[in-house]
Structure 1
Amino acid sequence: MATELAREDLHASVSDPASASMNFLNEVSARFPDAVSLAAGRPHEGFHSTDDLDRYLRTYLAHLEGLGLDADQRRRQLLQYGRTNGHLGVLIARTLLLDEGIEVPAQAVMVTTGAQEAMVVALRGLCAGPGDVVLAVEPCYVGFTGAARLLGIEVVPVPETADGLDPEAVLAVARAVRAGGRRPRALYLVPNFANPSGVSMPVPARRRLLEVAAEADLLLLEDDPYGLFGLDEEPRPTLKALDTGQRVIHIGSFAKSFFPGVRIGFLVADQAVTDAQGRRTLLAEELSTVKSLLTVNTSPVAQALVGGFLVESGCNLRTAVKEKTEFYRRNLRTLLAALERSFADEPRVRWNAPAGGFFAVVEVPMTADENLLEISGRDYGVLWTPMSFFHAGDGGRRALRLSCSALEPDRIEEGVRRLARLVRERADTPDPAGPGRAAVAADPAAPAGSRDPG
């Protein structure tokens, strides 16, 4: 008889609701390939071709030769197992200095297999005991909450407002966790154009958050995949750039600035670690043991591709990605304008107006769940992401996330037109009291329509 396993005997992460929801989204996309997908947050595919791969490899090999590595050393660096924390530390540190004003030693940089691995490594390294928990902005990127669930680490949500995280709310939650006998180790957030909400934190709030982190003895896990793609040139310093007390572990990725298939991310952990004998190391070096047990090391060939890209750009990504930035700016403006045209006469529909990034959130007068998404793909030819996927509880049930990154502008406009028809035909019967705009506005975390920025 063939072996049969009981699902309840498998780890909870196997049946994790968030992971199951994302699998469902992928399945819906596969079933309705002709639908306009405003769900996928992937980058546009037109910026690179496979012909670029050879060029980037050759650029990086020439760079290694310029550093004095002979042919055997160059071959070994690309074709053998490599240093656990990778060999791009110098180039990444230089890029962070030029682009963000972040000054850290190369030894503080760990090159990871995507930003997802950086999250797992940081979580596993920081949470040492059963009472250790992490705080996270809510709504939250499911990759982070999923990683925590995989590791058996509790995530305590801190609700996001229309202006991003409120530092005083972070302080209150951290104190409540400690009062309950647990230790809050870190707070995860995306300060720039967050996924899923698109919200950015004002600079004064960022500075206050750093103060709160010191008061509450928290580390900040700053994830910054979208920071290069603002609608304007307004300075938005990363938390790490403002960090004078080494409270921030910075997580980055080349998925958006380069391309996702390279699967290269990194974390910057320059915090000092002291052992019982008084020896001092950097946190990134200590975390290398965790990474070595996960992936041994990050693909040297993939690192070489990113290395060639960085060398070619002079380690200045803001200049290198100007074409991409303009594309994503145009797409976000197209999305917001299309929402304005399609829902100008529907006061029960509200949306936020992010200052950059890939996403906007729309509140709708019906439950935006998996059932409605199925109907939307099948009968209306448009896909989106339920915001409930990004909440631990019952939040986001009447809201959806739209992504504008992967499509051409005409497809974005068509997708919004189809969404408008879905809303008109499937909306709940209006409340005689006329809840609409007033009910939405009563929620401090509710997005504001572009015609009513709130």
Structure 2
Amino acid sequence: MWTDTRPAAELPRLFEKGADVISLAGGLPDLDVLPLGDISQQLARLVRLGGKLALQYTTPHVAKALVPAVADLMAREDGHADAGNLIPTSGSQMGLTAVALALGTPGDTILVQTPAYPGATAAFRTAGLDLHAAGEDADGLCPQQLRTTVRELRAAGRTVRLLYVNPTFQNPTGATLSVPRRAEILTACRELDLLLIEDNPYGLLGFDGTTTTLFQALDPQQVVYLGTFSKIFAPGLRSGWIAAPEHLRYDLARVAEIISLSPSALAQGALAAYYSRSGWTELIDRYRDSYRERCTLMADALDAELGADSPWTWQRPGGGFYLWLRHRDGADATRYAQAAAAHGVSFVPGGHFSIDGEHNDGLRLCFSNVPRKKITEAVTRLAAALTETPAVARELAEVSG
């Protein structure tokens, strides 16, 4: 069941840029690290020798030549890639939609780790699912609160079968769930007969090179895993995969085929060709180095510009793309977005990551694609906006005298 939904219409605006605006909004990777010369030669060879196949419709499977590349990526986080249970997608976004349509029924409730990736919540709403926040404690998603929430919802007549998590360098907070906490959550999921949807675009982008064991590695039959090449190669190829539990493979593959008919043989061939010649290690290390440097520059600039006395708080992430700021007094960050635009910088207000109006006191900064030489200037502009009295509050103060 397809429904109109506000977040889906707003997603493309994250990638728009004004003439003098430094964008800290859209989560774009740093494609300067790509060896474009090598990729160009490999694509040319692929088209020259096999263009009639690469440019044609193909079967709805992950290409045999690409399976080792997927298996390598998942194994770096202890995951399991069984060729028979891999389903091709046009990135994780298509995977989220396929999962929602295949495994949910309109009117079902899906539990969501919040603040949440807006593309996921838009996909779930589009499939007719009702969203409910999964409770958290100081260590992240809380298994005991999960039990309480599910039992209360079911007692109220709601059908709850799915839990969505973005557990490693989460979008937007940059937070990561520990392995012991993941094991506890999976225990609760088995008790509650909940299927866990693991969305993992950033897991290999830890700044120090370490990784965290996947939920999927801990229990492959309880987890639907969504992987993508967008963050460790390039989003323009629109290529990803679902690693499905065996008993759900048919349902998920059927919906994925309806959505796309055929995966891109050219994209899969390009990725397989790159992997067979170069592997992933060098490229992933380049991405990690780039993001570690940019994150350090941005966090250092925030420390210098806002300082410890600021009403805005944040933590340095260990990887990924994002810094998450929150206002100590709960001020709505949307009010500061206009001031930021006036100063020539953009960010995403926290309300975009809510499912029911929460997290308005937060804002997301993306450092992954900001030119290094502009990061300090961007934070200077941002700090000027965040330390102003927002226009709405100023007007109220003037009225009250």
From 16, 22, 41, the equivalent of 1:55 is 41
**What CA distance in whole angstroms lies between the structure 2 residues aligned with 1:97 and 1:18?**
30
Question: Counterpart in 1 of 2:223?
Answer: 248
Q: How does 1:170-209 map to 2 (within 5 A)?
A: 170-209=146-185
Give the aligned CA root-mean-square deviation in angstroms: 2.4
Counterpart amino acid of residue 22 in structure 1 = L
Contact (CA 8 Å) 1:252, 1:265: kept in 2 or not?
Answer: yes
Counterpart amino acid of residue 104 in structure 1 = A
**What CA distance in whole angstroms lies between the structure 1 residues aligned with 2:301 and 2:168?**
23
**What CA distance in whole angstroms lies between the structure 1 residues aligned with 2:216 and 2:150?**
21
Contact (CA 8 Å) 1:197, 1:360: kept in 2 or not?
Answer: yes
Question: Counterpart in 2 of 1:331?
Answer: 294
Of 288-297 and 88-97, deviating more is 88-97
Deviation at 1:381, TM superposition (A): 0.8
**What CA distance in whole angstroms lies between the structure 2 residues aligned with 1:133 and 1:141?**
17
**What CA distance in whole angstroms lies between the structure 1 residues aligned with 2:9 and 2:51?**
42
Deviation at 1:44, TM superposition (A): 1.2
2:34 matched to 1:36?
no
- Post-superposition Cα deviations, 1:315-358, rounded to whole Å, max 9, x if no partner, equal xx344311111111111122211111111153312112222111
What's the secondary structure of 2:81's corresponding residue?
Answer: coil
**What CA distance in whole angstroms lies between the structure 2 residues aligned with 1:375 and 1:407?**
20
Question: Counterpart in 2 of 1:19?
Answer: 8
Contact (CA 8 Å) 1:118, 1:266: kept in 2 or not?
Answer: yes
Question: Counterpart in 2 of 1:119?
Answer: 96
What's the secondary structure of 2:34's corresponding residue?
Answer: coil
Q: How does 1:277-288 map to 2 (within 5 A)?
A: 283-288=248-253
What's the secondary structure of 2:206's corresponding residue?
Answer: coil
Question: Counterpart in 1 of 2:262?
Answer: 297
2:236 matched to 1:261?
yes
What's the secondary structure of 1:425's corresponding residue?
Answer: coil
**What CA distance in whole angstroms lies between the structure 2 residues aligned with 1:336 and 1:59?**
43
Question: Counterpart in 1 of 2:313?
Answer: 350
Distance 1:75 1:46, change over 3 A: closer
Deviation at 1:192, TM superposition (A): 0.5
**What CA distance in whole angstroms lies between the structure 2 residues aligned with 1:181 and 1:109?**
34
Q: How does 1:65-80 map to 2 (within 5 A)?
A: 74-75=50-51, 77-80=53-56
Counterpart amino acid of residue 263 in structure 1 = R
Contact (CA 8 Å) 2:101, 2:127: kept in 1 or not?
Answer: yes
Counterpart amino acid of residue 288 in structure 2 = T
Contact (CA 8 Å) 2:85, 2:246: kept in 1 or not?
Answer: no
TM-score between both structures, scaled by the size of structure 1: 0.79
**What CA distance in whole angstroms lies between the structure 2 residues aligned with 1:414 and 1:218?**
46
Contact (CA 8 Å) 2:76, 2:211: kept in 1 or not?
Answer: no
Question: Counterpart in 2 of 1:400?
Answer: 363
Counterpart amino acid of residue 329 in structure 1 = R
Deviation at 1:405, TM superposition (A): 0.3
Percent sequence identity is: 30
Contact (CA 8 Å) 1:359, 1:402: kept in 2 or not?
Answer: yes
2:272 matched to 1:307?
yes
Question: Counterpart in 1 of 2:190?
Answer: 214
From 88, 95, 98, the equivalent of 2:72 is 95
Question: Counterpart in 2 of 1:8?
Answer: none
Distance 1:396 1:209, change over 3 A: same
- Post-superposition Cα deviations, 1:14-46, rounded to whole Å, max 9, x if no partner, equal xx33234435555xx44x331111112110131
**What CA distance in whole angstroms lies between the structure 1 residues aligned with 2:14 and 2:43?**
35
Distance 1:99 1:59, change over 3 A: farther
Deviation at 1:220, TM superposition (A): 1.0
Matched residue count: 388
Contact (CA 8 Å) 2:239, 2:267: kept in 1 or not?
Answer: yes
Contact (CA 8 Å) 2:98, 2:252: kept in 1 or not?
Answer: yes
Distance 1:272 1:254, change over 3 A: closer
Question: Counterpart in 2 of 1:280?
Answer: none
Deviation at 1:49, TM superposition (A): 6.2
TM-score between both structures, scaled by the size of structure 2: 0.89
What's the secondary structure of 1:185's corresponding residue?
Answer: strand
Distance 1:220 1:125, change over 3 A: same
**What CA distance in whole angstroms lies between the structure 1 residues aligned with 2:371 and 2:384?**
21
Q: How does 1:404-415 map to 2 (within 5 A)?
A: 404-415=367-378
From 223, 236, 254, the equivalent of 2:212 is 236
Structure 2 residue runs of 5 or longer lacking an equivalent are 395-401
From 377, 381, 393, the equivalent of 1:418 is 381
Counterpart amino acid of residue 17 in structure 1 = R
**What CA distance in whole angstroms lies between the structure 2 residues aligned with 1:104 and 1:420?**
45
Contact (CA 8 Å) 1:93, 1:106: kept in 2 or not?
Answer: no
